[in-house]
Amino acid sequence: MHPHPTTLDLEAIRQQFPILAERINGHPLVYLDNAASTQKPLCVIDRLSEVYRVDYANVHRGVHTLSQRCTDLFEEAREKVRRFINARHTHEVIFVRGTTEAINLVAQSYGRSKLMPGDEILISAMEHHSNIVPWQMLALQTGAVLKVAPISLEGTLLMAEFEGLLSEKTRLVSITHMSNALGTINPVKDIIRLAHARDIPVMLDGAQSAPHLPMDVRDLDCDFFAFSGHKLYGPSGIGVLYGKESLLEAMPPYQGGGDMIRRVTFEETEFNELPYKFEAGTPNIADTIALGAAIDFVEAIGMAAIADHEEQLLTYATSKALEIEGLRLIGSAPQKGAILSFTLEGIHPHDIGTLLDQLGIAIRAGHHCAMPVMDFFGLPATARASFALYNTFDEVDTLMDGIRQVIKLFK
């Protein structure tokens, strides 16, 4: 039996996601690759097509009605994001392609203008490549040094070691809010408190947390926060960088071009105000507006209710997984998002993924763009099932039956 009845009306919710009715390899789709990207509800799909059918024009440029209407819709989406993360100002919300671009923006704008040889950037050992490589590139450009706070075998950040690595040379801490490879939710409030006590700003990689936890950047007091629309039931190619006004004001532009200027001559350029200073060129207009629709969708359900449902799914899935002989969970932090990373004795994760796919079950197998995490656990890869608001307890059962079939096949 399933542990608790969920508070979500899953039948009604699932009807909003047409793709969930697909059959894959002759089986009903069981979509458990939500940490990679979530599926899209009708309101997002319809909004996207509606923008192109009736609202579309370039933004911030035209005097004509359509351009003004589209600009209003675009800026309404910015206000929806502001509300969603509880930022103080809409101009603290910068639209970018996704988490990856947001982190690169901070590295190349904030980092490049601030860092001197010998300065330090502190990350953790559980980061996604997006929160490693931009800092390595920055270190090469500036002579700064990348420091890495270690993790435990459970997959938790070692807080004493983290604190020990904060020094008078540390210029920025950049850390994941929720690990995509392990599911660990980091104690970001403590991390921010410790860093701020030494006047060190903190960037949070919210790619995995924003879709699954209620978010409040003011309460967290983070200095930068990044997330991607496509993991939040919205379109791909659109994401958000939040930054505190004072920091963004002091930062130089990341890219040059149209929309980010106030006045240009061949001799010099006066930059536009926030947020436009960081939004060079025609933005991803329709996807931004559709991201607003995705935010309306999750807010109507309630982020707390979503987090509660996913926690129940994780608890149930974890207890069922632990009953399977030869299954090893990778990542067992006490605070975890609904991500189940695992290995099966003697079976390569790619084979697990391929065989489950034959049963219509979509999971991810690989290094999850977190190769240092795999190295830490001495693994080439893991299999990863990741849950979203539309997943059911029956789907957890189907996954567990599928895993048992995979094991049987290899015996």
State yes or no: residue 371 binds ligand C6P (CB under 6 A).
no
Q: For the chain, how far is it from start to end, CA to CA, in angstroms?
A: 28
On whether the CB atoms of residues 35 and 388 are closer than 8 A, the answer is no
- Closer of 122 and 207 to ligand C6P (Cβ): 207
In angstroms, give the least distance from the CB of 20 to ligand C6P: 19
Contacts of 293 (CB under 8 A, 6+ apart): 43, 44, 47, 234
DSSP conformation letters of 183-251: -BBP-HHHHHHHHHTTT--EEEE-TTTTTTS---HHHHT-SEEEEEGGGTTS-TT-EEEEE-HHHHHHS
The site map against ligand C6P for 213-242 (x = CB under 6 A) is ---------------x--------------
Burial of 358 (0-12, 13-18, 19+ CB in 10 A): middle
Selected range binding ligand C6P among 49-57, 63-71, 93-101, 277-285, rule: CB under 6 A: 93-101
So which residues are the catalytic ones?
369
| SS3 (DSSP) at 342 | strand
Selected range binding ligand C6P among 24-32, 123-131, 215-223, 311-319, rule: CB under 6 A: 123-131
Strands 23-24, 170-176: pairing is unpaired
Residue 33 forms beta bridges with which residues?
386
* Amino acid at the residue 166: L
Strands 120-124, 145-149: pairing is parallel
Question: Residue written as tokens 């079976």?
Answer: 347
On whether the CB atoms of residues 281 and 257 are closer than 8 A, the answer is yes
State yes or no: residue 367 binds ligand C6P (CB under 6 A).
no
User: Which one of residues 44, 364, 367, 390 is an interface residue with ligand C6P (CB under 6 A)?
Assistant: 364
Selected range binding ligand C6P among 107-115, 124-132, 165-173, 308-316, rule: CB under 6 A: 124-132
Contacts of 127 (CB under 8 A, 6+ apart): 174, 175, 176, 205, 370, 372
In angstroms, give the least distance from the CB of 212 to ligand C6P: 11
In angstroms, give the least distance from the CB of 123 to ligand C6P: 12
State yes or no: residue 369 binds ligand C6P (CB under 6 A).
yes
- Closer of 243 and 272 to ligand C6P (Cβ): 243
In angstroms, give the least distance from the CB of 373 to ligand C6P: 11
User: Which one of residues 39, 99, 109, 343 is an interface residue with ligand C6P (CB under 6 A)?
Assistant: 99
User: Which one of residues 47, 80, 91, 128 is an interface residue with ligand C6P (CB under 6 A)?
Assistant: 128
Selected range binding ligand C6P among 125-133, 247-255, 306-314, 320-328, rule: CB under 6 A: 125-133
State yes or no: residue 203 binds ligand C6P (CB under 6 A).
no
- Closer of 109 and 180 to ligand C6P (Cβ): 180
- Closer of 170 and 176 to ligand C6P (Cβ): 176
Selected range binding ligand C6P among 7-15, 75-83, 95-103, 272-280, rule: CB under 6 A: 95-103
State yes or no: residue 287 binds ligand C6P (CB under 6 A).
no
DSSP conformation letters of 245-293: HHHHHHSPPSS-STTSEEEE-SS-EEEPPTTGGG--SS--HHHHHHHHH
Distance CA 235, CA 16 (A): 15
- Closer of 98 and 283 to ligand C6P (Cβ): 98
- Closer of 208 and 398 to ligand C6P (Cβ): 208
* Amino acid at the residue 383: A
* Interface positions, 129-188, toward ligand C6P (CB under 6 A): 130-131, 176, 180
DSSP conformation letters of 116-158: -TT-EEEEETT--GGGTHHHHHHHHHH--EEEEE-B-TTS-B-
In angstroms, give the least distance from the CB of 35 to ligand C6P: 5
In angstroms, give the least distance from the CB of 239 to ligand C6P: 6
Q: What are phi and psi of 210, to 5 degrees?
A: -55, -35
* Contacting positions for ligand C6P (CB under 6 A): 35-36, 98-100, 128, 130-131, 176, 180, 205, 207-208, 228, 364, 368-369
